A and B are shown apart, each in its own frame.
Chain A
Amino acid sequence: MPVRRILHVDMDAFFASVEQRDRPELRGQPVAVGGTHRGVVAAASYEARKFGVRSAIPMSRALTLCPQLRVVPPDFARYKAASEQVFAIFRQVTPLVEPLSLDEAYLDVTENAWNQPLGVEVARRIKQEIKSQTGLTASAGVAPNKFLAKIASGWRKPDGLTVIAPERVEHFLTQLPIDALWGVGPVTAKKLRAAGLERLQDVRTRSEEDLTQLVGSFGRLLLRLAYGEDDRPVEPHRERKSVGSETTYPSDLLDKVRIQDEVRSLTQECCDWLVRHGQFARTVTLKVRYDNFQTITRSESGESVTRDPVQLTQRAIALLDKTSAGQRPIRLLGVSLHGLTDDDQPAVQAHARSDKAATTGPLQLSLPFEPVAHPPPPAPRRRHPHQAE
């Protein structure tokens, strides 16, 4: 495979930056986007980060760390609009854009619309375009593959641009601690450290079997990454594997009827997403966090796929019986749907699809707008960023 030029572009403190852009009184202030009471921080401005305020920490903790924090309720419609503008810029450069979320994407710019041979120049121009069209800043990483590009973009933030040229990869790898890797969270990192693996390079000293015993199927990829190898392509149409919605409640829930209502509305949100995206789901998962933060999940898979809200809601509510709902106070409820597919009769449809591919039917052309705007898949409200399994 010839050397690729992969970009990872990550908007800086995205939600918070959009708020600061639209509300001048917030500029230069520590800002956190999220629910005011018992919610978690969805995004923190760089001013807030100086105080230790980070995404995903409870808002109450954020306010203790930084009492003058300006807490802003999220307005996803505006973030989505900004995200659409950013993705339109990406798609102007290359169709090979893989969205990771509203504010983050991989781009394969080995070939690009600007005929620019240097990845760093493409990145610089994209950053400029984003700045001039949206007033927001992004950090970019340029590398020969996805995993290095992602690490590079996080190297200098905000408004950073880091390049890992192919000949510098080896040098770069020597600096990396084990948990710099995407996919290595606190739990995996702890396991690896316990086995004496501090730096990514240390992984090379172990065999694939050893690593698999340690961290499961991730071991194989881990070993490849330790050598800086990653040939995963940038996938513009990577299928989403799950959709979910969850909420932390202002006060703990104990009333069974109320809990059922909440599960119903969470399931409805997921079903709305299915309908909007022409998808069906096989598995329903219910997540419950009790008042002592103990979190459990209960799942159930159907024989066939569906997007019928009545059926899915019934199944989600039935899962409540496998929890202590009604007996123990509940702090958080979440519903997610897995096993997504875009056809409700997989076998038949697969056949029909191959037929369709064989004959090229008439094709409706699109108006020549510049750029062709195709926003990233939208997230349902109160979305929890599920990781694809």
Chain B
Amino acid sequence: MEFRIEKAALLQALYYAQGIADRKSTMPILANVLLRSDGPDRITVAATDLNITVTTELPCEVSSEGGLTASAKHLHDIVKSLPSDKLSLRRADNNYAELVSGKANYKVVGLPDRDFPKLPPHKDVQFYRVDGAVLRDLIAKTFFSISADETRSHLNGVLLECDGDGEQAFARMVSTDGHRLSKCERPLPGAPKLMPGVVIPRRGLIELRRALEGSGGNVEIASHNQYFYLRTGATVLSVRLTEASFPPYEQVIPRDHQRRVVVKRSELFDALKRIVLVASEKTWGVRMNIASGQMRIESDNPDLGQGREELDVGYQGVDCNIGFNAKYMIELLSEIDTPEVQLELNGDLDPGVLRPLDDKQGVGNQYLGVIMPMRL
């Protein structure tokens, strides 16, 4: 195999590849990037950790067809520092990858390309063009409440559902760690129908987020046969979906509430960020006392001291006391961008709902967090 290619294009593809290639795996070939010709004028550059795969198709001049694999990191680092704008790469004896650029000549240890894992097939999959910024927003608004407990694989990811047709289509992401739940719905015209939804694992979301950040506006997505695909330009990211099913989340979102508290987002956010400084580092528990027109937040930590914050709120009704993990509220509030938020409560041991106060909230466009209280 031998081809000649623009350095900048190859470098970009190698950059994606070395982010995915798995150097810690017990399968040495996973640390490698695969370069395989795809006709006389294209190559595919691919890397995988078996769960996440990135492939980029690049134009180039192929003088002999075939494939090679070599350490993704080393190839990237060498190509990056090559002197001229063009380079040739060929497979030499014993699977070496030989690079020539100007007067520089390098040989990198490789492994046969036939040993490289099979790439998730995306050639025949139908892709749908959607707004990447919406996907990014959905991920940001749900990512923080994914469970970190690796023994609960069904909660180690985000549920993605898409419903509605054409211009009315919307996407929904839900995550929960068993103590809290975030749900976000946004219009996503052009989205494919995904009901029931798919569970995208945490690691995959990190890579999707990274790819979306670099992509700007329109991207293409697809979900097919246990994989979720994101195409940005010539690069396709494939994420293997979690096979376990997501719990029935609707059943833990309270349908109604006895108490409704309206409060300025920034005031609540700032007060919580201060009071968490004296909260227990194990539980982050704070006590909220809500009375007509006023909310008091207190923390009492025998090792450190006490704190108290008072806020003016819109609330009429009987006093109530309830404990919450302040971190859960802070993480949710930092993703809300309306001037006011609404806290909906029932009993002091029942789930609370925090959501932006926004006229436009409704099916297809809403954001909410369910937080279980703490027994203090």
Contacts and interface: CB of A to CB of B under 8 A. Distances in A.
Contacts of A369: 178, 247-248, 251-252
Interface in B68-127: none
Interface in B117-156: 150-154
Interface in A248-277: 265, 268, 276
A368 B252 contact: yes
B109 to A, nearest CB: 16
A374 B180 CA distance: 16
A304 to B, nearest CB: 25
Given A367-B180, A370-B251, A362 B152 contact: no
Among the interface residues A268, A364, A375, which one has the most CB atoms of the partner chain B within 10 A? A364
Contact of B370 (A85, A367, A373): A367
A-B CB proximity, top 3 nearest: A362-B285, A81-B244, A365-B372
B323 interface: yes
Contact of A77 (B150, B243, B280): B243
Interface in A58-79: 77-78
B181 interface: yes
A302 interface: no
B74 to A, nearest CB: 20
A276 B148 CA distance: 10
Contacts of A374: 152
A77 B375 CA distance: 36
A98 interface: no
A337 to B, nearest CB: 18
A377 interface: yes
B154 A368 contact: no
Contact of B372 (A84, A276, A362, A367): A367
Contacts of A362: 280, 283, 285, 323, 374-376
A366 interface: yes
B373 interface: yes
A367 B152 contact: no
Contact of A365 (B243, B244, B251, B374): B374
Contacts of B252: 367-369
A80 interface: yes
B374 A364 contact: yes
Given A362-B280, A362-B285, A366-B178, A373 B247 contact: yes
Contacts of B247: 369, 373
Given A363-B374, A366-B372, A370-B251, A80 B181 contact: no
B325 interface: yes
Contacts of A375: 151-153
Report the contact-size class of chain A (Cβ under 8 Å from the partner): 20 to 34
Nearest to B286: A362
Interface in B331-376: 349, 351, 370, 372-376
Given A362-B285, A363-B375, A368 B351 contact: yes
A276 B150 CA distance: 7
Nearest to B181: A367
A378 B154 CA distance: 13
Among the interface residues A268, A361, A377, which one has the most CB atoms of the partner chain B within 10 A? A361
Report the contact-size class of chain B (Cβ under 8 Å from the partner): 20 to 34
B258 interface: no
Contacts of A265: 26
Contacts of B181: 367
Nearest to B282: A361
A364 B179 contact: yes
A365 B373 contact: yes
Contacts of B280: 361-362
Contacts of B238: none
B154 A84 contact: yes
Nearest to B287: A362
B176 interface: yes
A378 B150 CA distance: 9
Given A369-B178, A375-B152, A378-B151, 9 more contacts: A77-B153, A77-B243, A80-B153, A84-B152, A362-B323, A366-B372, A367-B351, A367-B370, A374-B152
Interface in B249-306: 251-252, 280, 282-283, 285
A138 B222 CA distance: 37
Interface string A73-101: 00001101100110000000000000000
A81 B323 contact: no
Contacts of B243: 77-78, 81
B375 A365 contact: yes
26 contacts: A78-B243, A81-B153, A81-B243, A84-B154, A268-B26, A361-B283, A362-B323, A362-B374, A363-B374, A364-B283, A364-B372, A365-B179, A365-B372, A365-B373, A366-B178, A366-B372, A367-B252, A367-B372, A368-B251, A370-B251, A373-B154, A374-B152, A375-B152, A375-B153, A377-B151, A378-B151
Contacts of B150: 276, 378
A239 to B, nearest CB: 15
Contacts of B176: 367
A348 B221 CA distance: 54
A364 B153 contact: no
Nearest to B244: A81
Contacts of B373: 365
Interface in A265-313: 265, 268, 276
Interface string B164-193: 000000000000101111000000000000
